[in-house]
Amino acid sequence: MTYRILPILIIIATLSSCVSPKVVEEIKQQRQETFQENQKIKKENTSLSTENIELKDKLSRLNSEITQLISDSTTRAASCRQLQSQLDDLNEAYDLLTAKNSQMMSNKAEETKKLLEELQKTREELLKKEDELLTLEQNLSVKQKELLNTQNELVEREKKVMELQSIINKKDSLLSALKDRISSALLGFEGDGLTITQKNGKVYISLEEQLLFASGSWQVDSRGREALSKLSKALENQQDINVLIEGHTDSIPFGGRGQIKDNWDLSVVRATAIVRILTSSSSIDPERLTAAGKGEFVPIQSNSTSAGRSANRRIDIILTPKLYDLYELLED
């Protein structure tokens, strides 16, 4: 730039000797302005050069960054593809999990429905059990009342049983006393075929045929009349004693005599004969007496021997206490 200005200055210097001072002044002024402008341009050029260098540096950095970005982009692209593959895998797994979850939800829904049904069934059963429990409690209350009533009845029955036992004991005592009285009254006849026993709440007086009758007869002999007379005297004041007279025979058929056809008839007529003697020998009430014939059908020994048949031919007088007080107690 300096080499270009110098010729101009020379020309200006040469011309200045030929021109007026004004022109020279103008030329100087122009030259000064030109110099200043050149300085300004130079300064701008320097600034531009500096800016250019800076821009080149910046461009270099940008190129490096672009290269790095391209490299990073390639890496990121690979990473992106890997991530995309992973994403695809995840989406596939997600779809699979979604399907499984749907299936599980469906199964859960079925299970929930089943559980709800079972719960409802359990509730219904519980309500039913509660109703049954209420019914049982009501029944229990009724049963408790019934039990209480039963216990009260049991107490009353035990009381009655004790009263009955007391009466029975009293009757047994009376029977024992009666047996002793009869034994005393008939003392001396027991060796002649008479036995007296007490069992089952009764007194049994058994008189064998030899003490009362001849074989096949129903006429009582004197020895038998004496025994029966004493017995009737012992019984006449025993108003609470019923007297049953039973006639018995052996198994040998009766041959028949008049209206007496067989052992039935013989047993009955013999029992009737005893009743007549008892009522004629004392003031015993005939209503207390009963005559019955058993024939050969209630033996006490075997009819296959002579001794057995002799024992079976007998009169049984059975003394039974009247049990009015017992019956009345049982009816209460």
DSSP assignment of 233-248: HHHTT-TTEEEEEEEE
Residue 263 parent element (H or E): helix 263-281
Q: Where are the alpha helices (DSSP H) in 186-221?
A: 209-212
CA pair distance 293, 291, nearest whole angstrom: 7
pLDDT of residue 8: 61
Question: Are 203 and 196 within 8 A, CB to CB?
Answer: yes
pLDDT of residue 6: 57
Q: Is residue 86 part of a domain?
A: no
- Other CB atoms within 10 Å distance of the CB of residue 282: 18
Q: Is residue 156 part of a domain?
A: no
pLDDT of residue 25: 80
Q: Is residue 11 part of a domain?
A: no
CA pair distance 209, 223, nearest whole angstrom: 12
Residue with tokens 């009743």: 275
Ordered per-residue pLDDT tens for the chain, 332 residues: 555 555 665 655 565 555 677 777 877 788 788 888 878 888 887 887 888 888 788 888 878 876 886 777 787 777 768 867 887 887 888 888 788 877 877 777 788 888 888 888 888 888 888 888 888 888 888 988 888 888 898 898 788 788 778 877 888 888 898 899 999 989 888 777 899 999 988 999 999 999 999 988 999 999 999 999 999 999 998 888 999 999 999 999 998 788 899 999 999 999 999 999 999 999 999 999 999 999 999 999 999 999 999 999 999 999 998 876 555 555 66
Encoded tokens for 179: 């047996």
For the stretch 192-226, what's the b/e string if a residue is b when 16 or more beta carbons lie within 10 angstroms of its beta carbon?
ebbebeeeeeebbbbbbbbbbbeeeebebeeebeb
Structural domain total, the chain? 1
Encoded tokens for 86: 């992973």
Parent domain of 189? 174-331
- Residue 315: give its domain's CATH number: 3.30.1330.60
Q: Is residue 13 part of a domain?
A: no
Q: Is residue 265 part of a domain?
A: yes
Q: Is residue 144 part of a domain?
A: no
Q: Is residue 67 part of a domain?
A: no
Q: Is residue 259 part of a domain?
A: yes
